[in-house]
Structure 1
């Protein structure tokens, strides 16, 4: 386990505080993982966001009546830090028995605390539990999952990425993405979408590459950056977007995307599994 995770609440017994406590948030420097990918923090080849959705958010009105909501957070990939997921859950739980004047105040406090910890402006949106904006959708493009592939590699291997000389523009996706938490070893299930313009990616090989993350231990955000960099270096596309939609765990789901500058992201898309 890396030094930046030794004191993290993930994988440890934790008290569930129900009174507001912003000190529960645990930041992790993005630079640690990016160094292993030979990325320069001052000259990143991508832009992007980590989109979080929280389904277990509640607080009290000034009269003590509970309010429930669903929150969406967008953390820019340019932030110096990400937030460890269990600490985020513990922080949100600390709202449970705290009285706030209004949902406007809750949103202000959330934005203020999260932005301070990641050292960048975090976008916060609150939804009612029946808001149609949360209705699930489907990933666009070609689904690779029915391809007949033989797989014997379960750690990321960029050499699995194969291209030919034809220049194309396409969108493909797979629901077979699985990686593991680097602290607890628990499985993280997800779907991934890849949109690019450049030398055609061999679909069978690309699916085998996606599956190769199956025993890999890394945070969601790191997996997406690794996938983006592997495709960028091996295929040398002119345009590239990699977006993952991970299944909810502990009341939170995480959907990071990374894209070459100028690429239009696919936002506010939730899948049935989330």
Structure 2
């Protein structure tokens, strides 16, 4: 994968005036072509980006601060390079706006134009009453069973792999003790892991996240196998969205689920965290949320 953008530059000039041209789109097809699966099934879902370093000026020249969430449809032909988004947001730090609505409208226009999709933008004040968690910004907990200790009774040495290995999902199927379903019975169940790790394909810097899966399948789901598979991403170079789509495709191919939801909450970098979610049906789309690591 060859990507040339601001993210790969050794030195960076931070703009101090409004600079929408800073935004750098990356075609989703680059990752989806590599997955080699039904592309249309990867377009159902949302990427939630949360920015915690939002600032601009009011008409008096006083700095305003907020938290922003950008909801990018998975059907958009492009994603945005994360550092270019940070620079774009920094470029409005010293721009005056008459109202918060004006800020929201400008960012909506620029991101939608860059990604060629209808991007939704929400701004949250730091003093808002968020006790009902309607915003999804209060600390949440993933649903389901944590599988991070699923290999505690195994004697296997977990090798480092260069790329995700879907064959690990069928590894040692005799480990019945950690199987969450019985073949032939379709059941809904959910699990998560805090051990998702991959590398940025541009900088090779590590990205850490929590992965959650909700699935209904007639095939048995072995927690130890699933953890082996998740760990196989540790040296993989892929954007957050591409990793989630790879997992969605691999689970679909392996388990033929009647329902599937795969989402990840990645830790913050440059004041921004990225949270992709893919579902087999839009009715399964959860609400955006934030975890303790974010």
Q: Same fold (TM over 0.5)?
A: yes
In structure 1, distance between residues paired with 2:216 and 2:43: 15
Name the structure 2 match of 1:67: 64
In structure 2, distance between residues paired with 1:259 and 1:130: 33
For residues 36-85 of structure 1, what are the alpha-carbon distances to aligned partners after superposition, in whole Å with 9 as ceiling and x for unaligned? 122455x3355011100001110001110110000000000000100000
Tell me if structure 2 keeps the 8 A contact 1:244–1:256.
yes
1:112 aligns with 2:80: no
Name the structure 2 match of 1:226: 246
Under a length normalisation based on structure 2, what TM-score does the superposition of the two structures give?
0.88
- What is the count of residue pairs matched by the alignment? 270
For residues 73-100 of structure 1, what are the alpha-carbon distances to aligned partners after superposition, in whole Å with 9 as ceiling and x for unaligned? 0000000100000000000000111111
In structure 2, distance between residues paired with 1:37 and 1:177: 18
In structure 2, distance between residues paired with 1:223 and 1:217: 9
Runs of 5+ in structure 2 lacking a partner? 174-181
1:86 aligns with 2:83: yes
Runs of 5+ in structure 1 lacking a partner? none
| Max Rg structure | 2
Tell me if structure 2 keeps the 8 A contact 1:74–1:124.
yes
Name the structure 2 match of 1:77: 74
Under a length normalisation based on structure 1, what TM-score does the superposition of the two structures give?
0.94
In structure 2, distance between residues paired with 1:236 and 1:87: 38
In structure 2, distance between residues paired with 1:55 and 1:228: 28
In structure 2, distance between residues paired with 1:90 and 1:255: 20
Name the structure 1 match of 2:17: 19
1:98 aligns with 2:95: yes
In structure 2, distance between residues paired with 1:211 and 1:40: 24
Tell me if structure 2 keeps the 8 A contact 1:193–1:242.
yes
1:173 aligns with 2:192: yes
